[in-house]
Structure 1
């Protein structure tokens, strides 16, 4: 494999690269050649996981939140993600801005209106009347539970582990490095490489779900604006075009490509949010920022442990409401954890554990609160709080991706704003794809430097191909198919992140607090695996 990599001009860990690529291609072929049987397998797998292990997902993420809060206030909170004399590369404002950039994406554009309206029109709690004030309040609490602190805990735990083991312990920039206290030198052998392959595949499929959702939303928006049928072929064309844009960004490089697209993306998304704030019921929305925070804090403990155990006695026999929402969210989000974990670790080198946990959990969650209040409460108010439902509930019932555009129909210059929203979603697609291509390349090589362009282009094209395959497999039921696939793919990654918590705690305990690391633990890349590029990957980590 090493000889083949050299002949192809690749600079990577050949075993991780080719095994990841080979398994990805095999899965794609199975999806395209046997869509019916494979779809049934994923459907059955998802139903089994939700029915038997849904509680594990819910308890797991809640335990991660508790662990992170504890470790931030413990004596380990003063440890630095780097050497003891390292200091942050970025100031607080720049760092928060980058966390803010990571906190928005296709998920907020897709669910900002759709999720609150879904829970508002069909409350999950018995005794809550649809469209009532209580339904509106619980809808906002549930939406914030799904996409604020708990979601960011899924990113924070791997980010903390990467930052600690890569920058303080000098290990390669690979997912398996986070398991060094448990596996020792075996992270460089078959066990470690198997873990890295799972991380690469999970990241690819997690991104594919986001790209699939974004593509569905763009297709729905174009259909609403132009009258073109919202068909599978249109979504495949959209994915193809946007993958080409993302690939061009990859070729341009990190500074010229990813950075410029990200900055433009952030400005346009914030502009949309401010437009809704100032052209909507401004005073009501500003008051709801405070009040919704109170609803969330009041309800978050109950939601954190609620696993829909009584669903089998209700109308949703088998796996209940949680399977379509919370378990799907956690399984989907955890597949992003290698990607987001590396991003967070890279921008946080030199910060203390306490600074890292506090900043990553709080800053993006505050933005999520503001986003959902402005879009969600505006949507519920327009739909008729205390009434019988309106156009937005009908739009969500017909097509979830259409919700945002039905919402903009209630504002001035609806066509123009809808067009801008389509561009924002498209840019999120491109920035997610090119950023993930860089990270997947790093996960394969264990190196913080960007690999050859051909290597990164391969992963960019692969992400688009996986997303397109899932769209074709799902057909008109693409959202359901995406939920099924990601729940199955997310389970092994979820288990690995759970074990990562144990490994991280073990690593912390090996520290002689205040006197540096335990001499028995490798420092400065002493145990790092030699890379195909010469030297230790840790020597070139950013």
Structure 2
């Protein structure tokens, strides 16, 4: 009797940890967007696309400047005294080894989208190159092999990393058991973090993440379905796509239930080993010299033109004889907006798994490991497909234009030696990539809707968001509204431009104040005392009240 009462009491106490206004607010906002899309799909799509065009056209410059600014801001932080702050206690070692840490942050930040775009993105640039270059020329081919690495490179991972700074700092240095975007903004907004403004920040973050997850699903599911079709002959239809989604849901639900140290870690490790096997196989048995030379050339071209690519706005098009291509808005601005929507989620996750590392290790590790992984995918998978096109072994462009990107991607894999085995590996990898992204997403969503996260979010909370992440996209997949939800999330994520700036400012304000007040400051060994920090903040609040 006592044990039953104790279990019931523990459940009630845990449920009190749920931040119900944020929990319900995120669901209501998502329903307010998805229900009209279900009832009026054509009008809804028209409105969302018009809003997206307005934002990317009129505010595209802001996205470009914020992306470049975030990149340099993080470099300054990493090599300043702030970068030496330890995320945890003085003698604490990293909670996860470098391999598992890199695997988890890469799988959370990229997902199955890297298999999709890493294999086929070059083909879009080949046909519609930047800078007014003529399609299909040698210059267009060089940029086709380069621009994917740029879009998935240092700036993308810098945008991902920035939110991790204040979140990791407050969680591991100031020992605040809260994983919320609003909490990370507290040094700037003060008590407003506990009010409506703070709830709004968290709800916008969750809406962006749910929409971003829908994007990943929209890209990954048709590609996986094509892979299964090639392996088994099963027709690509909604039944097959539903089975794929349910399979991924079961995988990431089990992983989310078992927690961070077991499920998510092991699934990410398996994911990375499969990715290494796939890339090594393509590099060794594919056109090795072409892949190495083209990738090296792309890196050099990117380094030579990094600032030009980061700030290109096509200013002279549509003036006089010049024709506007819309390349910056269609690709670069869109990608920066996409990374921005995902940034608080990835930042939260990177912060949670970075215990025991310094700020510098977290920043540089995330940017370097993330960029390196994307270079390998675009350099190997992308250039393998490009080689097939240039040599005439397989007409990738024709399949892309006639049958769509998922069919073109699977067709590229089918040209490999032992195509059956490699297609199986590719399809399994895509399923696990999709599962790990949703796995990490459900974990973070559960963390955000809790008032405190002592070690891990409550299990029923994790499971709710695990199934919630797949239920709404499943409905939208049946009515064809996933792409519209993706665009809506990017439009709704526009305020995150301001929130991202607030997060960076918040971190600098908090960490600089704590470092100045610390008596233990020595270069390269900054270990801040949480008790002294709390006492200093208590005195500060007391003086303010006076």
With the shorter chain as reference, the TM-score category is 0.7 to 0.9
- Are residues 85 and 452 of structure 1, via their aligned partners in 2, closer, same or farther at CA, if it must alter by over 3 Å? closer
- In the TM superposition, residue 252 of structure 1 has moved relative to its aligned partner by 4.0
Retained in 2: the 8 A contact 1:121–1:130? yes
Corresponding residue number in structure 1 for 2:23: 17
Of 388, 391, 396, 1:392 maps to 396
Superimposed CA distance per residue, residues 31-86 of structure 1 (whole angstroms, 9 cap, x where no aligned partner): 22222222222111111111111111111111100111122222322223345565
Residue 142 of structure 1 is matched in structure 2 by 147
**Secondary structure, in 3 states, of the residue corresponding to 2:95?**
coil
Question: Structure 1 residues 448, 219: CA separation in 2 closer, same or farther (over 3 Å shift)?
Answer: farther
The answer to whether 1:194 aligns with 2:204 is: no
Q: Deviations over 1:337-376 (max 9, x none)?
A: 2221122112222322222222111122122212211112
Corresponding position of 1:65: 71
Q: 1:524 to 1:93 in 2, by over 3 A?
A: farther
1:409 is matched with 414
Cα pair 2:255 2:439 within 8 Å, conserved: yes
The correspondence of residues 164-313 of structure 1 with structure 2, limited to 5 A, is 164-171=169-176, 172-225=178-231, 230-232=236-238, 234-313=240-319
Please give the secondary structure, in 2, of the residue aligned with 1:491: coil
Asked whether the 8 Å contact 2:103–2:269 carries over to 1, the reply is no
- Write the distance in 1 (CA, Å) between the matches of 2:478 and 2:324: 28
1:269 CA displacement: 1.7
Superposition pairs of residues 431-470 of structure 1, within 5 angstroms: 431-445=436-450, 446-470=452-476
Could you state the TM-score of these two structures normalised by the residue count of structure 1? 0.86
Moved more, 151-160 or 237-246: 237-246
Aligned pairs for 1:494-509 (under 5 A) are 494-509=497-512
Q: Is the 8 A contact 2:104 2:264 kept in 1?
A: no
**Structure 1 residues 417 and 91 mapped into 2: Cα distance closer, same or farther (>3 Å)?**
closer
For residues 99 and 165 of structure 1, the distance between their equivalents in structure 2, rounded to whole angstroms, comes to: 19
- For residues 519 and 316 of structure 1, do their structure 2 counterparts lie closer, same or farther at Cα, with a shift above 3 Å needed? farther
CA spacing shift, 1:187–1:318, aligned 2, 3 Å: farther
Please tell me the root mean square deviation across aligned C-alpha atoms, in Å. Answer: 3.2
Q: Is residue 107–residue 436 contact of structure 2 (8 Å, CA) maintained in 1?
A: no
Query: Residue in 1 aligned with 2:374?
Result: 368
Q: Distance in 1 between matches of 2:328 and 2:320?
A: 13
Cα 1:524–1:285 shift into 2, 3 Å: farther
Aligned pairs, how many? 518
The answer (yes or no) to whether the contact 1:31–1:469 under 8 Å persists in 2 is no
Give the TM-score normalised by structure 2.
0.86
* Structure 2: 5+ residue stretches without partners: 1-10, 522-527, 539-546
Asked if structure 2 preserves the Cα contact closer than 8 Å seen for 1:206 and 1:336, the reply is yes
Tell me, in whole angstroms, the C-alpha distance in 1 between the residues paired with 2:394 and 2:127.
10
